[in-house]
Amino acid sequence: MNTPTELRRQLNFEYSFIAGEAAASWTLLMLHGTGGNEEDLLPMGRALLPGAALLSPRGKVLENGMPRFFRRLAEGVFDLEDLRHRTHELADFVESAAALYGFDSSRIIAAGYSNGANIAASLLLLRPKLLWGALLLHPMVPLVPQTLPNLSAKRIFIGAGRRDPLVAPAETERLHQLLNAADAKVSLHWQENGHSITPDEFAAAQKWLAGAVNGI
C-alpha cells in the first residue's frame, strides 16, 4: 500500500483540491480549456454542484506558453500518441488523488471546457472506469478507439454552439453518435452561440447535473 508521501509524489500535476462537504460527496474533475489553469473553473465547479469536492489539475503541455492537456499538430488536428499518453497520465493522477484525499472514486464526474472537454471525452473512451459521467462543453471527437468501451452506465452532457468557429456542428454530432454507439446516456444541448459558455448553456448544464446525480 502506498504511503501518503508516495501518493503525493505520484500527483505530478499542478492542481487545486477542495474537499467536499460530506464524506459521500461527489467529486468534480474540472478540466480547463487552452490557456487556462487549475484555478479557472473552480467558481464554475462550486456553482455546478454545491458541496461537491473539486479536483482541478493544470494541463502539462504548453502551446505558445498556454497550458493544454495534450499536444495538437494544428487547429483541430490532435497528436494522437500524445493524447493517449496524457489521458492515461491524467487518469493515474486522479486515482492517486482519490487514494490520498479519500474521496469516493466511484462518484467522479469530469466537467471540461474545450481542450478540457476533449481530454474528458478521451478518458471516457480509454479509461471509462475512472468516471461516473461527464459534462463536456464545446468538445470535439478526441480519437476513435479500435474497440468502443461499454458506456451504458455513463451519463454525459454535451453543450455546443451552432455558431462555434472552432467546433463545427457536424463534429459535435459525430461525438454524439460515437458516444451513443458506446451505449452512453447522452444529452446534447445546443445554443445559438460560439465557443464561449453562455448563461443559458451553464444553466442547462447545472440542471442536467442536478438531475443526473439525483437519478432523474
Residues acting as catalytic residues: 114, 164, 195
Among candidate residues 45, 86, 90, 60, the one with its CA nearest the CA of residue 202: 45
Decide if 154 contacts 188 (C-beta within 8 A): no
C-alpha cell, 62: 504548453
d(C-alpha 212, C-alpha 216), whole Å: 6
Helices 115-126 and 80-101: angle between axes, nearest 10 degrees: 80
Question: What's 169's DSSP letter?
Answer: H
What are the b/e assignments for 89-118, b being 16+ CB within 10 Å? ebbebbbbbbbbbebebebbbbbbbbbbbb
Decide if 123 contacts 130 (C-beta within 8 A): yes
